[in-house]
Amino acid sequence: MILFNPKTADFDHLDPASRAIMKKTIDYFETRGKKQLKSDYHERVWYDDFLDFIRENQIFSTLLTPAKYRRGNKEARWDTRRICDFNEILGFYNLAHWYTWQVSILGLGPIWMGSNEKIKEKTARLLEEGHIFAFGLSEKTHGADLYSSDMSLTPLGDGKYVADGGKYYIGNANKAGIVSTFGKNTETDEYVFFAADPEHENYDLVQNVVDWEGYVAEYGLSGYPITDEDIMSTGRAAWDSALNTINVGKFNLGWAAIGICTHAFYEGLNHAAGRNLYGKWVTDFPHIRQMFVDAYTRLTAMKLFSQRAADYFRSASREDRRYLLYNPMVKMKVPTQGEEVINLIWDVIAARGFEKDVYFEMAAVDIRALPKLEGTVHVNMALIIKFMANYFFNPGQFPEIGKRDDAACDEFLFDQGETRGLGKIQFHDPALAYDSVDLPNINIFKEQIKVLKEMLISATPDKEQAKNMDFLLNLGELFTLVAYGQLIIEKFNMEKLEADLLEQIFDFMIRDFSKFALTLYSKPDTSEVQMGFCMDMIKKPVMDKDRFDRIWEKQVISLKDSYEMNP
Ligand SMILES: Cc1cc2nc3c(=O)[nH]c(=O)nc-3n(C[C@H](O)[C@H](O)[C@H](O)COP(=O)(O)OP(=O)(O)OC[C@H]3O[C@@H](n4cnc5c(N)ncnc54)[C@H](O)[C@@H]3O)c2cc1C
């Protein structure tokens, strides 16, 4: 069973204390039930009771305090495996609840990565007291352009400063114990991260910029007093901790998407399988089966990829920075696949998806947020394109990374080092995975990869194309599919999964590759030679009706009525 099901999940890959956290959280949502979930969603009720539950059970404190800073709670550590599980559960029930956890993670990033030990000790205490945290990076007029940050910190001498400026789109900044705020020193022009307190009289909570259960704040600081004790990092370290924090936070977006899609999938399947039209069950229509099989295989692929990416993330080091390719993919590929899953289910359940009492109504809106947070899809694609040459043509040697379900504290996440030198990062040869299986659809996909590589060698994008983001984004989609498939195969081998499932996954992978090849063909800048390669990349998966039927019977329709949220 690959998909999460709250009614049967045993979390037996976790230690007993972590397992208890996951089960209690499921109980919290199931006890409140769907009616309350939807009513709070419609009334935009701030989730005080959830935060009480978190405090009473010491959940953020246990999951988000690195072992080095724990205060008596021997279960506290930063363990990405269980953080993924918690993300999936929160996404499954409500993205607004996930969001308060997500921005707490972001707010904690610059603190745990900084050099101010006193703030770290205070933070461990605040976590125990049940506080949430906030990450004040974005500004209203600057979007992704962090270089232009206007928040200023003016030195007054004797380790004293005054902060002035505004921040926009900052989750939890209404209530956070610490709002980690990014700005610039007006004298040295250096970047700086400092702590702000929403309770301070010089902190102006302007508004919630969204109409939602969560609070996404605009806040202003005017003449806000800061001392050295409030500063987490300055200069290059502050800049790096902004980007390294996002590297950590990014990972959660894919897992939230997996949670959302899983709940929507159960709901959609139960509805369609119980609906009779013209004397036939809706799930007997061939196109409906195709949509459900596609939704299911896309969703399982999202999860298998993200699980494997977690192994690399947890095993990362200064020498092994492969996670810098896989994390942005968990951020942008997985949530955009989530959008596809929701589209497919919505086409099946049609009008039902609009109704006020279904989870799907929330899923349809919330899934759209994930590709846009922690940098847009474009920003992340622009980042990973830097890896393409080394990925295909200059592989490195690495020891085999196994499954990382161990109860370790992922210390490296807070010591990732400088964020430059991306073009030098090497990856293990994708052929190791692709050549490890001999299956019809994998073999077709390998042919597609071969043509892509030939195009990159003999019709290498020229200088103008290398500057044209519209062209590169599409090329990046093809590259992303190759790395996506690679980690899915690795996971397939590790878990000894059924060949049927892998083949059905590569059925959509081949179709997606063909679609992106056609889009690249149609771009204004694509040369005649490149267009020829694009045509050669367009392929059709092997049709195997028996395999399709087996997936439908054994893995898809068998999930009917296996989960329904408590009323
Ligand atoms: C609900 C919500 C919650 C949020 N929470 C927080 C938070 O807690 N803390 C926080 O700091 N921020 C937060 N944000 C801000 C979020 O991270 C930004 O929305 C995101 O960084 C994108 O910025 P933007 O929307 O202003 O787009 P812009 O930066 O204005 O981008 C405009 C367009 O240009 C493209 N673009 C920009 N730069 C590049 C590039 N280098 N390469 C290619 N294309 C590019 C973008 O893809 C986009 O299509 C939140 C946003 C939302 C909507």
Mean local confidence (pLDDT), 62-73:
97
> Is 8 in contact with 1 (CB distance < 8 Å)?
yes
Going by C-alpha positions, the residue among 360, 409, 386, 335 that lies closest to residue 82 is 409
**pLDDT given at position 264:** 98
The whole-angstrom separation of Cα 527 and Cα 171 is 45
Share the mean pLDDT of the chain.
97
Domains of the chain: 16-132 (1.10.540.10), 135-234 (2.40.110.10)
**pLDDT given at position 143:** 84
Grouping H, G, I as helix, E, B as strand and the rest as coil, residue 205 is strand
The 10s digit of each residue's pLDDT in 123-156 is: 999 999 999 999 999 999 998 899 999 999 999 9
The 10s digit of each residue's pLDDT in 355-376 is: 999 999 999 999 999 999 988 9
The whole-angstrom separation of Cα 337 and Cα 301 is 9
**pLDDT given at position 144:** 83
Residue 410 has pLDDT above 90, yes or no: yes
Question: Closest ligand 1 atom, CA of 473?
Answer: 43
Residue 406 gets which letter from DSSP?
A: S
| CA angle (172 as vertex; 236, 100 as ends), nearest 5 | 100
DSSP letters, 122-153, are HHHHHHHTT--EEEE---TTTTT-GGG---EE
The residue whose CB lies within 8 Å of the most ligand 1 atoms, and thus the one to mutate among 100, 140, 169, 386, is 169
Residue nearest (by alpha carbon) to ligand 1 atom 38? 144
CB under 8 Å to 455, separation ≥6 — which residues? Answer: 530, 533, 534, 537
Q: Is this prediction's pTM over 0.95?
A: yes
Task: List, chain by chain if needed, residues with CB within 6 Å of any ligand 1 atom.
Answer: 103, 135, 137-138, 143-144, 169-171, 210, 216, 369, 372-376, 378-379, 382, 469
From residue 336, give the alpha-carbon distance in Å to each of 289, 468, 484: 22, 22, 13
The residue whose CB lies within 8 Å of the most ligand 1 atoms, and thus the one to mutate among 95, 148, 331, 378, is 378
What's the CA-to-centroid distance between 331 and ligand 1, angstroms? 13
Residue 444 has pLDDT above 90, yes or no: yes
The whole-angstrom separation of Cα 125 and Cα 43 is 33
Give 41's pLDDT tier (boundaries 50, 70, 90): very high
**pLDDT given at position 111:** 98
The 10s digit of each residue's pLDDT in 256-286 is: 999 999 999 999 999 999 999 999 999 999 9
> Is 351 in contact with 366 (CB distance < 8 Å)?
no
The β-bridge partners of 178 are: 133
Q: What are 283's two structure tokens? A: 């799930």
Mean local confidence (pLDDT), 508-514:
98
The 10s digit of each residue's pLDDT in 476-488 is: 999 999 999 999 9
Rg value, the chain, Cα: 24
Greatest Cα-to-Cα distance within the chain, rounded to the nearest angstrom:
82
What's the CA-to-centroid distance between 453 and ligand 1, angstroms? 32
The 10s digit of each residue's pLDDT in 158-182 is: 999 999 999 999 999 999 999 999 9
**pLDDT given at position 317:** 96
The residue whose CB lies within 8 Å of the most ligand 1 atoms, and thus the one to mutate among 379, 470, 473, is 379
**pLDDT given at position 375:** 87
The 10s digit of each residue's pLDDT in 102-123 is: 999 999 999 999 999 999 999 9
Mean local confidence (pLDDT), 220-232:
98
**pLDDT given at position 1:** 83
